[in-house]
Amino acid sequence: MSHLNFAKRKPQRQVNVYVDPELANCTHVFVRVQAKKGTLYPAYDGPFKVLNKHPKFFTLAMNGRENTVTVDRLKVANLPTIEGITDATVLSRPPVDTSVTETIPILTSPTVYIDSRVDTGDLSNTSASAPPIEISEQDPHITRRGRIIRKPLRFRD
């Protein structure tokens, strides 16, 4: 056993990541989205304002918060210069307001719509004088709109 030699480790390959030299003096950056999305979704979010710069990560103002993002995910945002605007923060996204709640109305009874292409005649007296619909035990199902569902003969018991 003492004469066995162990296999030597292979040196790990270092992956070289391209870091844009313009990141050192930029004011706004785009951040690469890490989630796997389809081809029609943008690969980068932003632009976001750079608050602090470090060799390996930047501190950004993202959606009203300060977030640290690694340099590997950043891309320089070449923003257009607009006359009269000295600060480009106007182009970044506004903070999300979570205090706004929207109420969705809930229908309590179904609404009956009458197709205008169908000749219905005089409907004012028919609802009171119409005989009630008799439903046999074979066809017990009525939809929320009031329609009767009858199974085909081959599916009936």
Residue pair 60/29 in contact (Cβ under 8 Å)? The answer is yes
Residue pair 134/150 in contact (Cβ under 8 Å)? The answer is no
Handedness of CA 99, 100, 102, 103 (dihedral sign): positive
Alpha-carbon span 70 to 32, nearest angstrom: 10
Report pLDDT for 58.
95
Report pLDDT for 36.
83
Q: What residue ranges do the domains of the chain occupy?
A: 21-80
Alpha helices by DSSP H, listed for 19-136, are 126-129
Q: Provide the token pair at 100.
A: 């706004």
Whole-structure pTM value: 0.46
Report pLDDT for 70.
92
Radius of gyration of the chain (CA): 34
Q: Which of 76, 77, 50, 72 is nearest to 61 (CA)?
A: 50
Architecture of the domain whose range is 21-80: Roll (2.30)
Q: Average pLDDT for consecutive 10-residue bins of the chain (157 residues)?
A: 80 80 91 87 91 93 92 89 55 58 56 54 52 56 82 78
Report pLDDT for 156.
74
Tell the burial category of 32 from Cβ atoms under 10 Å away from its Cβ (0-12, 13-18, 19+). Answer: middle
Torsion of CA 48, 53, 54, 55, to 10 degrees: 80
Q: Which of 110, 135, 111, 130 is nearest to 120 (CA)?
A: 130
Residue pair 139/151 in contact (Cβ under 8 Å)? The answer is yes
